[in-house]
Structure 1
Amino acid sequence: EQAISKLIRSWAWKKFITGSVILLPIAITFCVTWWFIRFVDSFFSPIYALLGINVFGLGFVTSLTFIFLVGVFMSSWLGASVLSLGEWFINKMPFVSYIYSASKQISAAISPDQNSHAFKEVAIIRHPRNGEYAFGFITSTVLLRGNLATEELCCVYVPTNHLYLGDIYLVSSKDVMRPNLSVREGIEIVISGGMSIPQILTTLEEAQAMDGDGLGKYGVPPV
């Protein structure tokens, strides 16, 4: 009886953990989505409340419409001119200009406009010691001129707190490994804490060679 009872408890515990693992991401997604809807809805809801209109979600729809119209306007020549003028005023403010500049660069990293990407490529560098690697993004390249030679260095941004905080390293271009990942995939890996990273990583050169041989992205023949 004791063995049967222990077996039943073990079975029930495993099923409970399985249910928790399945429901946890669903619950988190629901809570975050609900918080986002209420947060965005709060921008215009007070205005509708003053007008005597109490329809839940109306402020949320209005906010999304407003954001869309801002995107359309700023994509035009007039909108770009207004934005440039506003940025000129912001850059004159000592403390605010630093916050705006950092926020703008982070936003540019995930912008659908490929020409404005702050993150150029995904990079893997050896850090902090031999045998260990750090995941980062190439933001620019610089030339280091010395007495004997000139060396090309990559400016690699390694996030330490999601994408908002991180360290900057100047690494020789020949020591930077470029995995076959897009910037968007790299951002997803950082935000997920590495949980969304592929089990097999290949460099861009190896991936191109595999494509030439008819292999898939990770070296697996297509089915």
Structure 2
Amino acid sequence: MDAHDEPPPPTEPPVEPAPEVHHGIVARFRNYFLTGLVVAGPIAITFYLTWWFVTWVDGLVRPFVPIAYRPETYLPFGLPGSGLIVAVIALTLLGFFAANLIGRTLVDLGESILGRIPAVRAIYRGLKQVFETLFSGNGSSFRRVGLVEFPSPGMWSIVLISQSPSAEVARSLPGTEEHISVFLPCAPNPTTGFFFYVPKSKIFEVDMSTEDAATLIMSCGVVQPGSDQQKKVAALAGMANAARVANSAALQPVAEKVE
């Protein structure tokens, strides 16, 4: 038989790229998992914190409610939130009675008694001023956000702008420039931080709400102001869809060759 008549050598069948298929499946699973985590995580944490607050208030108020007026006395189960409702009604009635003459007299009497106790006087006066500042309708404390060059030149920190110092403190501050008190929250716990006085010219006010500033600090810069959570969810869903399309495109040529 002539050498030219010899049949061509058999070709080896293409090897299926198993590692790429495995990688595509893992990428799809990871993107789907992250998408579900972004959607369910904030909802679950919000419900958990709300449930914790409601049960905590119920535990504080329930001992002061007579057994005859508790919902579990007449129901086979407890009614979550009943203590919170009682607390809201009680605080509203307390504010109503404190607004009239008799209530104001009783409040002044109680404050005068607390003012005679040395250890309690400073704590009560400080807490009263804080609550009056935070919950007053016309208060302006901690409603503005600014930037201060701290802790070293070239490094900037977010601060919450408070009130101007008192006359006694202002006279003791060096220089003639007006100062203002600021609070610098620490990350990731914004309830702790530093309080100091800064010259007014050294503060650069930022167009940002205090809620956005707290979110930025708690997330350590991961969540930037103005970022839309729905856009992040859509981006993760788009990544998962792209991974699925890429995986299908990688498998299609292999299927044609096998046929």
1:8-23 aligned within 5 A: 8-23=25-40
Distance 2:157 2:118 in 1: 33
Structure 1 or 2: more helix by fraction = 2
Cα deviation, residue 23, structure 1: 1.0
Partner Cα separation in structure 2 for residue 39 and residue 46 of structure 1: 12
- Residue 128 of structure 1 aligns to a residue in which SS? coil
Consecutive unaligned residues in structure 2, runs of 5 or more: 1-17, 73-77, 228-259
Q: Which residue of 1 aligns with 2:41?
A: 24
In structure 2, relative to structure 1, the CA distance for the partners of 1:20 and 1:120 (3 Å cut) is closer
Q: Measure how far apart 1:40 and its partner are.
A: 1.3
Structure number having the greater strand percentage: 1
| Identity among equivalent pairs (%) | 24
Matching residue of 1:35: 52
Q: TM-score, normalised by structure 2?
A: 0.61
- State the match for 2:9 in structure 1: none
Pair member with larger Rg: 2
CA distance in 2, matches of 1:41, 1:122: 35
Shift of 1:111: 1.2
Aligned partner of 1:178 among 177, 201, 205 = 205
- CA–CA distance in 2 between the matches of 1:191 and 1:98? 32
For normalisation by structure 1, the TM-score amounts to 0.69
User: Between Structure 1 and Structure 2, how many residues are aligned?
Assistant: 194
Distance across 2 between alignment mates of 1:13 and 1:67? 49
Q: Secondary structure at the match of 2:91?
A: helix
Structure 2 SS opposite 1:114:
coil
- Superposition CA RMSD, Å: 3.2
- Structure 1: stretches of 5+ with no match in the other structure: 201-223
Give the equivalent residue in structure 2 for 1:65: 89
Of 51-60 and 14-23, more deviation after overlay is shown by 51-60
Q: Secondary structure at the match of 1:178?
A: strand
Match of 1:162 in 2: 190
Equivalent position to 1:92, from 116, 123, 128: 116
